[in-house]
Structure 1
Amino acid sequence: MGCAISEMAPENAERTTGTQDAAAHLDQEQIQMIRESWKVIQDDIAKLGIIMFVRLFETHPECKDVFFLFRDVEDLERLRTNRELRAHGLRVMSFIEKSVARLDQLERLEGLAVELGRIHYRYNASPKYYSYVGAEFICAVQPILKEKWTRELEEAWKTLFLYLTTFMNHGYQEEKNRQSHAIDSPKDRPEKRNTAL
């Protein structure tokens, strides 16, 4: 057990579980474990979201650069009471809640993660940060679940986050390519005028 961020890094996704079939490794027992643990976790989602992001900024201060509203806040205690951070933490927890609810609907879950990746491209939030959030989530929930936290439950959550971050990365790349093609498209280029007389 522990909070090994490198185990969840996107560059390890291909090696450990395969890109498209990471969720296939979540068997029904793991899905049930995630759902049962979520029932306990969801009572503290506002607090958990803040804990998760404060920990993220402690362990990876460069992540603050993505957040315009509090990138210059140096005092992590001030961040604990920051309304914008609380709101963002709740949005992340809402995404996790939707993901847990869709564990039996992989097509919908993939679509949700891909769309989130597209949105993150628009905010210039690099995929290298995605796995950090999953790792900090795992670290933050351990004290809440106490003796209910097991190695098997940790592996189930890691697999879920690996799956989500893989599809978020797909969405990020799709949006990046779409934006790049939109700029390169002839219809979007300024019309060249014939200046020859």
Structure 2
Amino acid sequence: MNPVAFTPEELQQLKASFKYVESNSKQAADIFYGHLFDIAPDLKPLFAHTDMRDQRQKFFSALRVIIGSIQQPHLLVPAMTQLGKRHAKYGVRPEMFQKVGGALMMTLEEVLGELWTAEVEEAWIRTYTYLADIAAATLAPEGH
């Protein structure tokens, strides 16, 4: 899988938008999980025994790693592979990543408001698609 190539401007927009969202992390995480459970109520049982405060921190920790190493595939790919393996233990299936991506994009749009431009959206979609493909590949049965 080839890493996502960004222009310096795109990379700056991605990092700046994440910094803004991170400054509103509790609200953004609540919005994200609200959207996720609205889009995919079937995923709610996966969080039945989860401390959602802890989950919010894990969510932003993962995003921080992603944005911090987006141009360093030698760091990012192993991190996403590990994330995929952890999620496999929770019963996550590859098709669930599309729902998570939808909830993430809705959250970013809502939290960023006027900062959510077509360029920012495109950068986030490309980033998420690349990362979800890596993580989802770890969920596929061996030999497929």
- Normalised to the residue count of structure 2, the TM-score between the two structures is 0.89
> Residue 23 of structure 1: SS of its match in structure 2?
coil
- Normalised to the residue count of structure 1, the TM-score between the two structures is 0.67
Percent of residue pairs bearing the same amino acid type: 23
Q: Is the 8 A contact 1:119 1:172 kept in 2?
A: no
Q: C-alpha separation between the residues in 1 aligned to 2:58 and 2:115?
A: 25
- Equivalent residue runs for 1:30-179 within 5 Å: 30-69=10-49, 84-173=51-140, 176-177=141-142
Superposition misfits of 4+ residues, deviation over 4 angstroms: none
Q: C-alpha separation between the residues in 2 aligned to 1:123 and 1:144?
A: 28
Report the CA distance between 1:22 and its aligned residue.
Answer: 5.5
Q: C-alpha separation between the residues in 1 aligned to 2:111 and 2:47?
A: 27
Which residue in 2 is equivalent to 1:21?
A: 2
Which deviates the most, 126-135 or 89-98? 126-135
Q: C-alpha separation between the residues in 2 aligned to 1:129 and 1:69?
A: 19
- Output the aligned Cα RMSD: 1.9
Pairs aligned (count): 143
Q: Is the 8 A contact 2:3 2:71 kept in 1?
A: no
Unaligned runs of 5+ in 1: 1-19, 71-83, 179-197
Unaligned runs of 5+ in 2: none
> Residue 91 of structure 2: SS of its match in structure 1?
coil
Q: C-alpha separation between the residues in 2 aligned to 1:27 and 1:60?
A: 34
Write the deviation string for residues 112-157 of structure 1: whole angstroms up to 9, x where unpaired.
Answer: 1111001111111112112222221221122322221101110100
Look at both structures and tell me which one has the larger radius of gyration over its CA atoms: 1
Q: C-alpha separation between the residues in 2 aligned to 1:133 and 1:86?
A: 18
